[in-house]
Amino acid sequence: MEAAKRVNDPRFAERAAKIAMYMKDSNKTDEAISLWLKEDPKNPTARKVAALSALRAGNKQAAVEHLNAVLKGDPAGFEKTALELANVLQRDGKSDFFYQVLEALAEKNPDQAVVYFVQSLLAMEMKNGALAEKKVQQALDIQPGWDKALVFQAQIAVFSGDLSKAKILLRNASIKYPENDKFKKLLAQVLIKAAEYDAAGEVYQAIVLSNPKDAESQLALALVDLQLNHDSKAEDIFKQLLDQPEWRNQASFYLGKIEEKRGHTQKALAWFDKVAEGPLVFESAISAVSLLVKEKKFDEADSRLNLLSDQFPKQKLRIILMKAGLYSQQEQYETAFKLLTDALVGEPDQRDLLYTRALMAERIKRPDVLEADLKKILAKYPDDAEALNALGYSLLGHAERYAEAERYLQNALRLQPNEAVVMDSFGWLQFKLGKPELALDYLERAYAKQEEAEIAAHLAEVLWTLGRKEEAKKVFNKAIKKAPEDEYLLSFQKRLLEGEE
């Protein structure tokens, strides 16, 4: 500071100002900035630092003055500067004050669209969608063709849940500015969000036809084709993208998914193993492991998981859960239980570890651990429908606890009324309570949603009890073909079907 006062060189004042800001000494900051601006009045960084200091100090007049100088000196760079300031001030809890300063700045510069646009961004940060919409419209009134503002206006509509409005805005912008693909791409994304996949595909198809080198849109089109079960079309696009290094890994991953869907395990594995870098490396490796488990190639799956532990230390939790699933598939429930117990030493409250250990505890006849783990989850997450359902269902083996089970299952049903496993549990409870007709209603709806072996066994037993034995046999025969080793189906067969013979 002393050097800045003695020497005609703005670098000393700049250094003093930055040190003072770091020290959070507002008086020294202001003194240094004053010297800096005296030596170099047009320096944009000096103005930016001056504005930040004034904003932090709550000095509205000074903040407006400095921001006005920034706006006049560099209108094109004002947005970037304002967003940098907004980022810092958000951490300081001063977003509201910054908005008020911009309001005063807008009064001084009513023809500057950028000020209203930044206000709109701030209003969204402040979770005020109506204000954000008003401000972005003001920006567009001044600068009607501003693509960034038009896109943000559509995004505001999406954030507020008004997908219809977003679609109208983006379609209009696409027609008005046909050369700007930004609008078409965002329109396609909104259509996907609205589950209008055919329409989204048409938009991406038009983009690709007009610009065959747009690989990003080609990939998006292929993903929409996958969603529509147009696997061959998607496959053709992915194979074209293999020639482009930037997209090769993603294309290989999805080609693996297509082959997996077709039941071509070796082809799928070959594609997954080609994914060498990028965000899908771990997903490819996990997909390969899942395939091997499905094929009951447990040793290979285990050795791959061991390699992943070293390669992806940040994915430790997911790998542990995969290993537990691998042991469970092999009916090594004690091994899985121990693995999860060891993992819980380091993370005693980790929800997924607790839930998975609860499932293993049931297998090794440790109802005390099952109940304790699920109750621990519910203590922290009382609306965890999965834990509520598991705990309620686990109590159905004890007639004296049916009332307790009903409370848990009613809560689960309230949270997830259309979830098949929850409907199944609640239906099975009704059967246990001697209400087979009511049970049948829930179980039929559950089975219509998910033709899972355990649900089939429950449905067959209720039908059998109601004297509808042929229907029960039909449900059983269909399910046993898909899952010939399922314990619930085999139990039904032994207790009722073989008993009849």
Domain ranges for the chain, please list them: 451-501
Can you give the pTM of this predicted structure?
0.72
Q: Tokens for 462?
A: 């209720």
- Report the pLDDT value the prediction gives residue 21, as an integer from 0 to 100: 74
Q: Tokens for 15?
A: 């250094």
Give the torsion sign (CA, 137, 141, 144, 149).
negative
DSSP state, residue 313: G
Other CB atoms closer than 10 Å to residue 355's CB: what's the count? 19
| 3-state SS class at 304 | helix
Q: What is the pLDDT of the chain when averaged over all its residues?
A: 91
217 versus 21: the higher-pLDDT residue is 217
- Report the pLDDT value the prediction gives residue 169, as an integer from 0 to 100: 92
Inter-residue long-range contacts of 405-413, CB under 8 Å, 24+ positions, other chains counted? 405/429, 406/433, 411/383, 411/385, 412/385, 412/386, 412/388
* pLDDT greater than 70 at residue 83: yes
* pLDDT greater than 70 at residue 500: no
Average pLDDT over residues 462-474: 95
* pLDDT greater than 60 at residue 456: yes
Average pLDDT over residues 345-350: 95
- Report the pLDDT value the prediction gives residue 291, as an integer from 0 to 100: 93
Average pLDDT over residues 478-496: 91
* pLDDT greater than 90 at residue 22: no
For residue 384, the Cα-to-chain-centroid distance in whole angstroms is: 18
Average pLDDT over residues 172-177: 89
* pLDDT greater than 80 at residue 9: no
> Distance between CA 457 and CA 490 in Å, rounded?
9
Average pLDDT over residues 353-381: 96
CB 132 within 8 Å of CB 140: no
- Report the pLDDT value the prediction gives residue 499, as an integer from 0 to 100: 63
CA nearest neighbour of 396 among 362, 357, 438, 441: 362
* pLDDT greater than 90 at residue 35: no
> Distance between CA 293 and CA 288 in Å, rounded?
9
- CA dist 225 to 183, 201, 256, Å? 21, 7, 15
Task: Average the pLDDT over each of 39-43, 118-122, 446-450, 493-497 and give the range with the smallest value.
Answer: 39-43
Q: Tokens for 289?
A: 């492991």
DSSP state, residue 332: -
| 3-state SS class at 1 | coil
Average pLDDT over residues 355-374: 96
CB 25 within 8 Å of CB 9: no
- Report the pLDDT value the prediction gives residue 501, as an integer from 0 to 100: 53
> Distance between CA 13 and CA 19 in Å, rounded?
10
